[in-house]
Structure 1
Amino acid sequence: MEMVFIAAAIIIGMGALATGIGFGILGGKLLEATARQPEMANQLQVKTFIMAGLLDAVPMIGVGIAMYLIFVVAG
């Protein structure tokens, strides 16, 4: 029973960690690309926001799975 709670905590924690790393890499690459080609800054920013939205979906799926584990499997 308590293993389900540990599994849910690991799912949420790893999702948050991976998202933080992903956002760091994404922001760094945006700055590098903007420094190399400043005239494309607007296009790069739009594409970065689209990727940030997709990147942010991953921990939300993890939270959904963790809630399923807590409330359905352990309940």
Structure 2
Amino acid sequence: MQVSNVLAQAAETAGNINPGLAAIGYGLGAIGPGIGVGLIFAAVINGTARQPEAQGKLMNQGFTTFVLTEVLALIGIVIYFIASNA
């Protein structure tokens, strides 16, 4: 199958998605980044409690991974709006 055929098929089926199902899908998809952010900052707090002098380095790594995790939720909401408005 060619890539253009796959993209055409995906665009065709995107219009058939129920907006309610898209909202449920986004809600379920947002659970992962939510858990991820909680785990990231729990690890930062634990690391700071064990080695207070490493707080700056841990916070830098924590915010970097927070941004990467939060991008998943932003991509999910963009896909939700595309699916619900198609």
Judge same fold: TM > 0.5, yes or no: yes
**2:36 maps to which residue?**
22
Stretches of structure 1 that go unaligned for 5 or more consecutive residues are none
Structure 1 residue ranges (4+ consecutive) displaced by more than 6 angstroms after TM superposition? none
Greater C-alpha Rg: 2
Stretches of structure 2 that go unaligned for 5 or more consecutive residues are 1-14
Specify which structure has the bigger relative contact order, considering alpha-carbon pairs within 8 angstroms and separated by 6 or more residues: 1
Q: Does 1:52 align with 2:30?
A: no
Asked if 1 retains the 8 angstrom alpha-carbon contact of 2:48 and 2:54, the reply is yes
The SS at the match of 2:30 is helix
Which deviates the most, 8-17 or 25-34? 8-17
Give aligned-pair identity as a percent: 31
Q: Over aligned residue pairs, what C-alpha RMSD do you find?
A: 1.9
Residues in 2 aligned to 1:37 and 1:15: alpha-carbon distance in whole angstroms? 34
TM-score, length-scaled by structure 1: 0.81
Q: State how many pairs are aligned.
A: 72
Q: Does 1:34 align with 2:48?
A: yes
Residues in 1 aligned to 2:49 and 2:42: alpha-carbon distance in whole angstroms? 11
Distance apart, 1:17 and its partner CA? 1.8
**1:71 maps to which residue?**
85
Bigger helix fraction? 1
